[in-house]
Structure 1
Amino acid sequence: REAAADANLFRREIGEVAPLAVPPRASLPRNPPPPLPVQTRLDEEAVLHEAISDEFDPEVLLDTDETLSYCRPGVSQEVVRKLRRGDWIVQAQIDLHGMRREEAREALAEFIRESVKRGMRCLRVIHGKGLGSVGKEPVLKGKVRAWLVQKSEVIAFCQARPHDGGAGAVVVLLQPAATPAHTRTLAEPR
């Protein structure tokens, strides 16, 4: 009763009230910033780091003839012959000269990943001949081949032709982009 009496006293003392005239409020849409796929980026970096190892010995998988070459099981040797002849046009290249082993491994993995995303098929990887290395021995040459053999996107590679880098580079053929089977075969050059 006391609270009701206080409320009545308050209303009598204040008198008539009218709501304030407030202009209508504009409702602004909230545009959150685009999400950053932090976990996806971290996962990709972890996969890249773990994907290719220095401990892998590719010699068991390489064909040794006048030049070293590699062809994934199930892919015709004709693919390597066409690659050697230059039937595929090199669409991108990376030069690993002067890079340390770890830096070169990450750069190569990133280069292959980006090339796959962009739908490229034929790449050149310049690893050098090792003339600037201690003992004039190529460090990256063997490592690049070992790393390439471990990448599932790589279906074949061979030493570049003399005017394309010779013993200091390899030409790499990647899996074709996902296209209907009737439009392109695995060994079809571009």
Structure 2
Amino acid sequence: MNIKYDKDGLTEFQQLVEGITPFSQDKRHFKPPVKSRKQLIEKEVHNQADSYFSDIYQPLLPITGPMRWRREDVNTMELKRLRRGDYIPELLLDLHGYRQTEAKLELAALIQACVQECQLCCSVMHGHGTGILKQQVPLWLAQHPQVKAFHQAPREWGGDAALLILVDIGDQPHRR
């Protein structure tokens, strides 16, 4: 190969790359794989559980009597209707045997399911057990923005081992 040298090296470069053909583009774009609807819903529930439920926050809950709580913008009559059992829970969640992290995820999924299915009331059975979930579930529920109120369930829905939850489903039409 006969190479001519010049001051800026342009002709030298042109002589070296003479006869070379560029690669053809194979049109592969490496995008992240498309996630299924189930994976997206699970991730959303996990994110909600992480963002809404804190183990540090301590809302003002009653020390004596049945476990109850309501948001400030909710009428006290709604809490009384929960206590009397006027609301019938359409969705039930049994947390027996769950760890705290699993219980948080299931609780977030329950509230999300209530909103999606336009259900005003649901029930969470935390059981007696060691009392960890019985203590933590009301603390978590008081933090969620879509929980209007909760009250200890009547005897037919689990008594003091369960809570009835009144969920804010927005402006969607609902039934009682």
- TM-score, normalising length: structure 2: 0.71
- Amino acid corresponding to residue 170 of structure 1 in structure 2: L
Answer yes or no: is 1:48 the counterpart of 2:49: yes
Instruction: Report 1:16-165 matches (<5 A).
Output: 36=36, 44=44, 45-58=46-59, 60=60, 62-64=61-63, 66-130=65-129, 137-165=130-158
Deviations 1:106-144 (Å, cap 9, x if unpaired)?
A: 1111111112111111000000012xxxxxx31101110
C-alpha distance in structure 2 between counterparts of 1:67 and 1:174, whole Å: 19
Cα distance change, pair 87–38 in 1 and its aligned pair in 2 (3 A): closer
Answer yes or no: is 1:168 the counterpart of 2:169: no
Cα distance change, pair 35–105 in 1 and its aligned pair in 2 (3 A): closer
Give the superposed CA RMSD.
Answer: 2.5
C-alpha distance in structure 2 between counterparts of 1:98 and 1:42, whole Å: 21
Cα distance change, pair 35–147 in 1 and its aligned pair in 2 (3 A): closer
- Amino acid corresponding to residue 91 of structure 1 in structure 2: E
Offset at residue 47 of structure 1 (A): 3.2
Give the gaps of 5 or more residues in structure 1. Answer: 1-33, 131-136
C-alpha distance in structure 2 between counterparts of 1:38 and 1:164, whole Å: 30
Deviations 1:140-176 (Å, cap 9, x if unpaired)?
A: 0111001100111100000011221111000000014
C-alpha distance in structure 1 between counterparts of 2:50 and 2:107, whole Å: 11
Offset at residue 39 of structure 1 (A): 9.7
Cα distance change, pair 43–92 in 1 and its aligned pair in 2 (3 A): closer
Q: Quick check: 2:114–2:169 contact (8 Å CA) kept in 1?
A: no
- TM-score, normalising length: structure 1: 0.66
What is the percent sequence identity of the aligned residues? Answer: 33
Cα distance change, pair 70–119 in 1 and its aligned pair in 2 (3 A): same
C-alpha distance in structure 2 between counterparts of 1:88 and 1:165, whole Å: 14
Offset at residue 52 of structure 1 (A): 0.7
Cα distance change, pair 179–54 in 1 and its aligned pair in 2 (3 A): same
Q: Which runs of 4+ in 1 moved over 4 A?
A: 34-43
Q: Which one has the largest radius of gyration?
A: 1
Offset at residue 49 of structure 1 (A): 2.0
C-alpha distance in structure 1 between counterparts of 2:99 and 2:137, whole Å: 12
- Amino acid corresponding to residue 58 of structure 2 in structure 1: D
Deviations 1:31-66 (Å, cap 9, x if unpaired)?
A: xxx8757996586232332221122212x1x24553
Give the gaps of 5 or more residues in structure 2. Answer: 1-33
